[in-house]
Amino acid sequence: MDYFSLEFFLLLLNVVFIDLMLAGDNAIVIGLAARRLPPQTQKKAILYGTGGAVLVRIVATIVVLWLLQIPWLLLAGGLMLIWIAYKLLVDQEEEHTEIAAGATLGQAVRTIVIADAAMGLDNVIAVAGAAQQHLVLVVIGLLISVPIVVWGSTLFIKLINRFPWIVYVGSAVLGYTASHMITEEARIEPYFTEHPALRILFMVAVVVGILIAGYLANRRAAQKKGSQKRSYS
């Protein structure tokens, strides 16, 4: 791939955007793990912990990129990413009070790395799919998005809270990535190649289906909360 082409630039934007959309939980983990440390030590914990988490994520993504070469795993990854896109819409109020705050620099760094690795499966699968098997895109995307997550996470979370439609855009991008992964599965790709219109319809159906399902789930949750408040008043 030409690293100075429009295609590379668009794929990189896609990788960075997905990284940012799925990084809210990780930013919260970083803050919780370092919250008991002195201000100067907090900065070190965030820097070292994030650096370690990035290295772990790069290694994990390399493994996933290799695994996606195995027959049918690209399809499985796409189906899993559809579920991740849906969960992005309906799990916006998830809490992380179970994250223990480290009492020392080493404890905080270890907590950040382990928690990020445990929570980062969705990021790894999504980024691997968005990068379309190009490791260079994965590494560059992480190097761009991680500093934004660490130092601008609060601002990004505020933006999402103020403009909820951003989450729907992110979910749509994930849905597109998932459907693209599925249609690239070697065992079924020839069928979509022979019927390009069907491929487009399939990708549109996946994206629209995720958005409608997420919207309906959120509306039901809002109605349930409203009825509970009325019953308590």
Share of the chain above pLDDT 70, in %: 75
Q: Does residue 74 belong to any structural domain of this protein?
A: yes
- Which pLDDT score is estimated for 179? 93
Domain count, the chain: 1
Has residue 1 been placed in a domain?
Answer: no
CA distance 142 to 54: 7
Give 5-46 pLDDT, tens digit per residue: 888 888 888 888 887 777 666 666 666 676 677 777 777 777
Domain that holds residue 86: 6-232
User: In whole numbers, what is the pLDDT of the chain averaged over residues?
Assistant: 79
pLDDT tens digits, one per residue of 73-120? 889 888 988 998 898 888 655 554 445 555 677 877 777 777 666 666
Is residue 221, in this structure, part of any structural domain at all? yes
Q: CB under 8 Å to 217, separation ≥6 — which residues?
A: 86, 89, 90
**Residues 35-83: pLDDT tens digits?**
677 777 777 777 787 778 778 878 888 888 888 788 888 898 889 889 9
Q: Does 150 have pLDDT greater than 90?
A: no
Q: For residue 106, tell me if it sits in a domain.
A: yes
Q: Concatenated DSSP letters for 6-46? A: HHHHHHHHHHHHHHHHT-HHHHHHHHHHTTTS-HHHHHHHH
**pTM for this entry:** 0.75
Distance CA 90, CA 86 (A): 7
